[in-house]
Chains A and B, each alone.
Chain A
């Protein structure tokens, strides 16, 4: 008994060390942090650290996804009809290495991103703006060192000058992307990275920087510097030489804990100030309302999901008989707008919101999150309407669809509950309209789906898009343009829509551009190229002694779950 008492005392003494100190923020997540090199950062796990260690020229103003403000720049001017941008850079900014930031660092950063531009990075959209192509020099031989060198330069006044081949209203927003953070050129070169000259640029074309020396030993200008990183932990400390306001949180601990139950236990005991949750249903059940927990709901969500109806299905295997004989579908089944409208009326929007988002969601009018400029609330939306769906099916293909029926094969991404639920709702509703309608749904591995969809081989699938940068073009062109990212998957082509979208690419944000996006959205309502899946709303939770995370402070374009930078947090 005495031994047991001693053991218990020892154990309790050890456990007492576990509470998180007031100047320390502890976050537990399941995902690893693949890279700390901004040039390779293109995932939220890496981004949530990099955005606190490095800084960009411009950043988002508070919670706004529309307004930008200077960060490492102090001001900028656009000239030459919007094709030249000149930035004044902040003085006396120190990197964690002790080096002072100069224009040369900014020039090196953007040139490095253009030179490397690996397929896994987000540098393609910077390259689109500055070189007129998203490819790197390996894939596009027209890219020369001279072009890269000319695209970004320092002038005699120490200003950074970008020269664009064409107007790009999204350019400033692209500079706010975490991947365009300014790196320490002297430090990088000393650590074996690209020398920043023509001499060795070709050796670095397309090079993956995920495990670069900069990733291993980062040096940014951010409020926090990395002090240690091992297999499961990343430690950061407030940077004494930071040019901005000194943060209240001195230490940040990122722990990788793959098991949700372990993270929940740590959070509820107060050993973690915030954690990566397990999805709304799980978090509402197991975390919300518990002692010491603050729950913030109804936050903006910038994810847009759609069911694609491929108008030119390239794979005979998913067509069945390939005819409208009740045993399959023709390759152009979805080319008839009546079919697309019928499917749009057959989807259970409210049911999806109930089943997937626990009732917290909203139906959008277009495939653009409502917090972006250009979103038009007045565009009509489809509602579940069995009678209307039946009416359109009866019109489709001169009545042949209704008369003969069809067998459709729709795939969903294996392991994705939202995708599975989407297809199950459609299947149930479509099959209830006519006993001759049959929808076969099947799970497919993501890797297979990626390649088959890109080759136009999938009849009906669901895809989602989250923004790279805060500009409506990143959604509108991506989804609706016939040469946009999703074009091969849906084969939707409307000459008028293309013209509007191209025109919008030349106009800065404002009423004229918004009008063009409204026109696209209204046309999309008529043509119904996609079923717009209702969007969920974001939420977050954290220990109630944490200050700085709030709805007013939440910006969905910041990678970190709490939607703000670490430097804005404190504890009471």
Chain B
């Protein structure tokens, strides 16, 4: 097992090298002027386009530009992100815990809700509950995140005033969070560990609407897949055999059918967590939530190459770690799967 994990982690530098070559290579498809425009924020700055190209070395050969990036990266310097106004490493250090916090609050409800509703729907195939769930699934599946987010914000913040709006904490707590001793980087947890339950609760309140938006959209996919898997499992030979042996419906459904149906949910769950950790771009944008997704939206729009490359490194690491965990879970769910 340890060998397997180490082998997977050793893949990260290789994946990163390939990704960086691809990304830096793709940027070369843009003219130096187009790349220089990423540094410009006003018409006045545009006056010195050629000087910007020269100073940034944007007209240098590909190998020179790539070598410069690689040299800095190997020294632990991922560069300065113009989108965040910080070094890339500082930006990741600051924003990734926020995204993890949102992921933690979102992933479990999505998976539990998706599995439960998918199972319920399959076990009640073609009955009213199944019809209702299928309609809701289609709605959730096809509802644009942007629309849902705005509606939730307008209703629960703007109209009812039950939940806070954009951001991570309210104005008063903004001034206090700098004094918190940071243990984990997760603001709600750190606030609780500091005994500041008011801040912890404030953070959680700010997370409810983004989490709800993500849950509605993503749970629909899990429900759909879980329903199909369960239906397939319920008609399989081993389930028929189990029933023939006289096992109760509950045992057959839970221990035989659902366990097998869960196999592809483990994979899907892995993708879900990769997506959430990689930043839920639109949701973070709507709710002004300071995660990596929001940063990446801005970085992409502004051709912030150091930020994009830094984010690619982070994504590669997330993909390798999560898919390793998924593979391990496979072994837990299905003992036939073994690692050499």
Q: List 21 A-B contacts (CB under 8 A).
A: A11-B163, A14-B202, A15-B163, A17-B202, A42-B41, A43-B45, A120-B45, A120-B52, A124-B47, A139-B51, A228-B178, A232-B288, A232-B294, A235-B175, A257-B166, A258-B294, A265-B165, A447-B31, A447-B38, A451-B49, A463-B43
B43:A266 contact, CB within 8 angstroms: no
Q: How far is the CA of A190 from the CA of B311 in the complex (A)?
A: 32
Q: Give the contacts of A5-22 with B (CB-CB under 8 A).
A: 8, 10-12, 14-15, 17-18, 20-21
Q: How far is the CA of A32 from the CA of B288 in the complex (A)?
A: 12
Contact of B286 among A139, A256, A262, A464 (CB under 8 A): A262
B311 to chain A, nearest CB (A): 14
Q: How far is the CA of A8 from the CA of B162 in the complex (A)?
A: 7
Residues of B within 8 A of A139 (CB): 51, 54
Interface residues in chain B, defined as those with a beta carbon under 8 Å from any beta carbon in chain A:
31, 33-52, 54-55, 80, 82-87, 91, 94-95, 98, 150, 153-154, 157-158, 161-168, 170-175, 178, 198, 201-202, 205, 285-290, 294-295, 297-298
Q: How far is the CA of A32 from the CA of B39 in the complex (A)?
A: 13
A34:B171 contact, CB within 8 angstroms: no
Given A32-B84, A233-B167, A451-B31: A17 and B41 interface contact (C-beta under 8 Å): no
B162:A266 contact, CB within 8 angstroms: no
A32 to chain B, nearest CB (A): 6
A35:B51 contact, CB within 8 angstroms: no
Tell me if A536 is interfacial: C-beta within 8 Å of chain B.
no
B37:A485 contact, CB within 8 angstroms: no
A43:B164 contact, CB within 8 angstroms: no
Residues of A within 8 A of B42 (CB): 42-44, 466
Residues of B within 8 A of A256 (CB): 288
Residues of B within 8 A of A466 (CB): 42-44
Q: How far is the CA of A138 from the CA of B38 in the complex (A)?
A: 22
A251:B175 contact, CB within 8 angstroms: yes
Q: How far is the CA of A26 from the CA of B290 in the complex (A)?
A: 17
Given A447-B33, A448-B34: A119 and B51 interface contact (C-beta under 8 Å): yes
B89 to chain A, nearest CB (A): 12
Contact of A451 among B33, B163, B175 (CB under 8 A): B33
Shortest 6 CB-CB contacts between residues of A and residues of B: A447-B37, A119-B51, A451-B33, A231-B290, A257-B288, A43-B41
Q: How far is the CA of A445 from the CA of B301 in the complex (A)?
A: 13
Which of A257, A447, A463 has the largest count of B CB atoms less than 10 A from its CB? Answer: A447
Question: Which chain A residue shows the least CB distance to B37?
Answer: A447
B162:A34 contact, CB within 8 angstroms: no
B62 to chain A, nearest CB (A): 19
Given A266-B166, A450-B33: A18 and B154 interface contact (C-beta under 8 Å): no
Of the listed stretches A90-98, A208-216, A320-328, A397-405, name the one at the interface; the rest are far from the partner chain.
A208-216
Tell me if A147 is interfacial: C-beta within 8 Å of chain B.
no
Question: Which chain A residue shows the least CB distance to B33?
Answer: A451
Return the CB mask of A456-471 against B: 1 if under 8 Å, else 0: 0000000111101000
Residues of A within 8 A of B286 (CB): 259, 261-262
Tell me if A340 is interfacial: C-beta within 8 Å of chain B.
no
Residues of A within 8 A of B54 (CB): 119, 138-139
Q: How far is the CA of A196 from the CA of B53 in the complex (A)?
A: 27
Contact of B86 among A11, A211, A258 (CB under 8 A): A211
A261:B49 contact, CB within 8 angstroms: no
Question: Which chain B residue shows the least CB distance to A486?
Answer: B47
Q: How far is the CA of A468 from the CA of B285 in the complex (A)?
A: 32
Contact of A265 among B43, B80, B153 (CB under 8 A): B153
Q: Give the contacts of A26-49 with B (CB-CB under 8 A).
A: 26, 28, 32-35, 42-45
Tell me if A317 is interfacial: C-beta within 8 Å of chain B.
no
Given A253-B174, A255-B167, A265-B165: A211 and B87 interface contact (C-beta under 8 Å): yes
Question: Which chain B residue shows the least CB distance to A14?
Answer: B205
Q: How far is the CA of A208 from the CA of B153 in the complex (A)?
A: 40
Residues of B within 8 A of A463 (CB): 43
Which of B40, B91, B287 has the largest count of A CB atoms less than 10 A from its CB? Answer: B40
Residues of A within 8 A of B171 (CB): 18, 20-21, 24, 26, 253, 271
A262:B41 contact, CB within 8 angstroms: no
Contact of A227 among B48, B165, B178, B287 (CB under 8 A): B178
Contact of A17 among B31, B39, B173 (CB under 8 A): B173
Tell me if A86 is interfacial: C-beta within 8 Å of chain B.
no
Question: Which chain A residue shows the least CB distance to B53?
Answer: A119
B100 to chain A, nearest CB (A): 14
Given A118-B55, A251-B175, A262-B287: A464 and B91 interface contact (C-beta under 8 Å): no
Residues of A within 8 A of B40 (CB): 120, 450
Q: How far is the CA of A228 from the CA of B37 in the complex (A)?
A: 30
Taking A11-B163, A216-B86, A231-B86 as given, write out 11 further A-B residue pairs in contact, using a Cβ cutoff of 8 Å, ordered by the A residue number.
A17-B170, A21-B172, A34-B41, A139-B51, A210-B85, A231-B290, A253-B171, A259-B150, A265-B165, A450-B40, A466-B44
B121 to chain A, nearest CB (A): 26
A259:B288 contact, CB within 8 angstroms: yes
A137 to chain B, nearest CB (A): 12
Q: How far is the CA of A12 from the CA of B52 in the complex (A)?
A: 51
A262:B82 contact, CB within 8 angstroms: no
Q: How far is the CA of A210 from the CA of B52 in the complex (A)?
A: 13
B203 to chain A, nearest CB (A): 10
Question: Which chain B residue shows the least CB distance to A268?
Answer: B158
Tell me if A436 is interfacial: C-beta within 8 Å of chain B.
no
Question: Which chain B residue shows the least CB distance to A465?
Answer: B43
Tell me if A75 is interfacial: C-beta within 8 Å of chain B.
no
Residues of A within 8 A of B161 (CB): 12, 15, 269
Given A32-B84, A251-B175: A232 and B298 interface contact (C-beta under 8 Å): no
Q: How far is the CA of A263 from the CA of B287 in the complex (A)?
A: 10
Q: How far is the CA of A208 from the CA of B85 in the complex (A)?
A: 13
Tell me if A230 is interfacial: C-beta within 8 Å of chain B.
yes
Q: How far is the CA of A465 from the CA of B50 in the complex (A)?
A: 19
A210:B95 contact, CB within 8 angstroms: no
Q: How far is the CA of A493 from the CA of B290 in the complex (A)?
A: 51
Q: How far is the CA of A251 from the CA of B288 in the complex (A)?
A: 21
A206:B85 contact, CB within 8 angstroms: no
Q: Give the contacts of A98-140 with B (CB-CB under 8 A).
A: 118-120, 122, 124, 135, 138-139
Residues of B within 8 A of A231 (CB): 84, 86, 91, 94-95, 98, 290, 294-295
B162:A233 contact, CB within 8 angstroms: no
Tell me if A360 is interfacial: C-beta within 8 Å of chain B.
no
Question: Which chain B residue shows the least CB distance to A259?
Answer: B286
Question: Which chain B residue shows the least CB distance to A262?
Answer: B166
Residues of A within 8 A of B43 (CB): 463-466
B162:A450 contact, CB within 8 angstroms: no
Given A230-B290, A447-B34: A124 and B48 interface contact (C-beta under 8 Å): yes
Question: Which chain A residue shows the least CB distance to B150?
Answer: A261
Q: How far is the CA of A231 from the CA of B80 in the complex (A)?
A: 14
Which of B47, B98, B154, B165 has the largest count of A CB atoms less than 10 A from its CB? Answer: B165
Q: How far is the CA of A255 from the CA of B289 in the complex (A)?
A: 11
A33:B85 contact, CB within 8 angstroms: yes
Tell me if A186 is interfacial: C-beta within 8 Å of chain B.
no
Contact of B165 among A208, A253, A271 (CB under 8 A): A271
Given A118-B55, A206-B55, A253-B174: A485 and B287 interface contact (C-beta under 8 Å): no
